[in-house]
Structure 1
Amino acid sequence: MTEAPVARSGRERSVLVVGEALVDLVPAEGGAGVRVAQPGGAPANVAVGLARLGGRASFVGGIGDDAFGDTVERWLAGAGVDLSLSARPALPTALAVADPGVHGNTYRFHLGDTATFALPDRAAEAGRFGAVYAGGLAAVVEPAAAVVAAVAREAARSGLLAVDPNVREDRTLDPVRSLGRLRELCALARVVKASDEDLVRLWPDAAPEASCRELAERGRLVVMTRGERGATAYVHGAPAVSVPARPVRVVNTIGAGDAFMAGMLTWLGAEADWSTELTAERTKAMLEYASGAAASVCAQAGTEPSAPLGV
């Protein structure tokens, strides 16, 4: 049985999430060629997931001054995410056109000259939080990328930095520069969560497991997710710990990885006081909780997780 984390309060429970909030255009149920607007963006999904799972999330992002931006703002604030460190520049919201498939989701992005990547620099705030999350498109798209890097460097110096590289491939992105920036973020982090596909893209000359062990040997907690094949955690000097994916009738996979990350951070803040030195038993408990959060998203439309009650 996987118990929900014990509620805590104060700095140790709070997470600063830095990155993009945009709108996903996703296929409408039963509507061939029809797309429905859904607020998203990996960091925004993580912030909402943290709030829905009982954590305290503050979001640093640029929210558009259009109708899509209004939708994004209502979604974040409605979940309980603190937006006091975000900004609403006079620019439109970025769009991501999603094409779910049997081998995962692909996207086409409309990013240029949008509020989504006009992030305010909040590096000075990083030390006020128990953990800082970074990753996603904002880590590789300017001018946001410079802000994300500055916040990440400060978080690595003053506390716990958690990174999900969330590698995206698109005609609008420079693959060499993008992958380099994501590798730099992983090098700064104390916690790295990455899919097996992310790891292959970041380090194509190594097996994903080997890349995880290399990262873990430098003192990190590294978690590799493999979709329906479950997840594995790696820490220095200990055997890897794996859990299967929770069985569920899959309705949607968009946001499942973000829900997993939100579950990990919720558990680490509530149950481990942000320590990454975990026993095998506690590592398994963390993975089971995160897997349950991801499964709750897969079982429904939308990207908001619910707290798992058991296996």
Structure 2
Amino acid sequence: MHITDATPAPRLAAGDGVLTVIGESLVDIIRDPRGPAGGQAHPGGSPLNVAVGAARLDLRTVLVTHYGQDLHGLLLEEHLQANGVQVVNGGSAATSTALATLGPDGAAEYGFSITWAISGASLPALAAVKGSTHVHTGSIATVLPPGEQATLALVEAAREHATTSFDPNCRPAISPDAAAARRQAEVFVAASDIVKASDEDLRWLYPDRAPEESLQAWLELGPAVVALTRGASGPVILSGNGRVEMAAEPIRVSDTVGAGDSFMAGLISGLAKLGALGAEGRRQLQTLTLDQLHAVASYANRAAAITCSRKGANPPWSAELGELS
């Protein structure tokens, strides 16, 4: 078991709760045909990106994850420390890697060498979620054995005293069985208060219906808020009170790496600013007005746009993003 305590990020004025993110950390090796030959190594993994994005938006953040004691693991540890993310590291295998090859439009295609196991830190991980106001998970950590059941157990343990969120961030190269991934996603949707997915996720999981139909079906499984990101078409958010849609921010795209994770971090941060997280905030989350949903969607939309405007998963800081409005 290896635990690293980095300096926590400042607290949000909206409350002093802790966000715990559960999921993979890995090193992205990015190959860009528009740049020099070879690849550059960068910290990555959807949950790690969400944790860093949330910490940059002033949420005190813990990441329950796995990486090895190797050069790639050192890169991840330094990155998390530099961004004020506290780490509970539950694994000892080599650090996972993802090879991202960028196309002419900046979109990324991935190949993976992944391990997901957090059994080496079961008790610290449980303590982290029990001490949290909000718990988020998603992506590989929710589908890849042997750690996916531990991820679900931690989310379920959090439900009594925390709000929870989920982003499937599907990786067919890791979990090619769409039917199994769909069943697993629906388990996490039903255990979550907030869910975000991309149109690509929902087209892969439910090829026989439109993404927004699938989003509506997920809302009926129990979450209070469900969000759909659609790249250049902008996001849609649904709740029991209605629907919000907006165009994407007009920016020059460098690449799309980490854009959805920045949206997720912005969504969590925006809801925290509204006092809509935690057991005490769940009623507020369930009764958000359309104006409030629009403000949160706009905030998250700006976060994603800023990330797209620069290379790699480099989410905005609170001073760049501005206030919820």
Identity %: 33
Cα distance in 1 between the residues matched to 2:176 and 2:23: 16
Cα distance in 2 between the residues matched to 1:35 and 1:88: 26
Any idea what the Cα deviations from partners look like across 1:63-105, whole Å, max 9, x if unmatched?
211000000000011100011x22452x211111112334942
Cα distance in 2 between the residues matched to 1:172 and 1:208: 20
Q: Is 1:24 aligned to 2:57, yes or no?
A: no
Please give the TM-score of this superposition, normalised by the length of structure 2: 0.85
Pick aligned residue for 2:187 from 166, 181, 184: 184
Q: Is the Cα contact below 8 Å between 1:43 and 1:258 reproduced in 2?
A: yes
Find the residue that maps to 2:254 and give its secondary structure: coil
Partner of 1:231 in structure 2? 235
Is there any run of 5+ residues in structure 2 with no aligned partner, and where? 1-10, 278-283
Closer/same/farther in 2, CA of residues 37 and 228 from structure 1, 3 Å limit: same
Q: Which moved more, 1:42-51 or 1:21-30?
A: 21-30
Instruction: State the Cα distance separating 1:174 from its structure 2 match.
Output: 4.2
Letter in 2 for 1:51: A
Closer/same/farther in 2, CA of residues 74 and 88 from structure 1, 3 Å limit: farther
Cα distance in 2 between the residues matched to 1:174 and 1:110: 18
Q: Is 1:68 aligned to 2:81, yes or no?
A: no
Is there any run of 5+ residues in structure 1 with no aligned partner, and where? none
Partner of 1:129 in structure 2? 132
Any idea what the Cα deviations from partners look like across 1:210-242, whole Å, max 9, x if unmatched?
122222233520011101100011012x33111
Find the residue that maps to 2:73 and give its secondary structure: helix
Pick aligned residue for 1:264 from 263, 267, 284: 267
Instruction: State the Cα distance separating 1:167 from its structure 2 match.
Output: 0.6
Superposition CA RMSD, Å: 2.2
Closer/same/farther in 2, CA of residues 180 and 98 from structure 1, 3 Å limit: same
Partner of 1:109 in structure 2? 112
Letter in 2 for 1:185: F
Cα distance in 1 between the residues matched to 2:100 and 2:107: 10
Partner of 2:54 in structure 1? 50
Closer/same/farther in 2, CA of residues 171 and 196 from structure 1, 3 Å limit: closer
Any idea what the Cα deviations from partners look like across 1:3-31, whole Å, max 9, x if unmatched?
xx9634422xx210000000011125743
Any idea what the Cα deviations from partners look like across 1:258-279, whole Å, max 9, x if unmatched?
0000000011112233232211
Cα distance in 2 between the residues matched to 1:263 and 1:271: 12
Cα distance in 2 between the residues matched to 1:228 and 1:95: 28
Q: Is the Cα contact below 8 Å between 1:123 and 1:150 reproduced in 2?
A: no
Closer/same/farther in 2, CA of residues 219 and 40 from structure 1, 3 Å limit: closer
Find the residue that maps to 1:158 and give its secondary structure: coil
Please give the TM-score of this superposition, normalised by the length of structure 1: 0.89
Q: Is the Cα contact below 8 Å between 1:241 and 1:280 reproduced in 2?
A: yes
Which aligned pairs between 1:1-311 and structure 2 lie closer than 5 A? 7-11=13-17, 14-28=18-32, 30-31=34-35, 33-83=37-87, 85-87=88-90, 89=92, 91-101=93-103, 102=105, 104-111=107-114, 114=115, 116-118=116-118, 120-121=121-122, 122-170=125-173, 173-217=176-220, 218-236=222-240, 238-274=241-277, 275-276=284-285, 277-306=287-316, 307=318, 308-309=321-322
Instruction: State the Cα distance separating 1:127 from its structure 2 match.
Output: 2.9
Instruction: State the Cα distance separating 1:62 from its structure 2 match.
Output: 1.1
**Displaced runs of 4 or more, over 6 A:** none
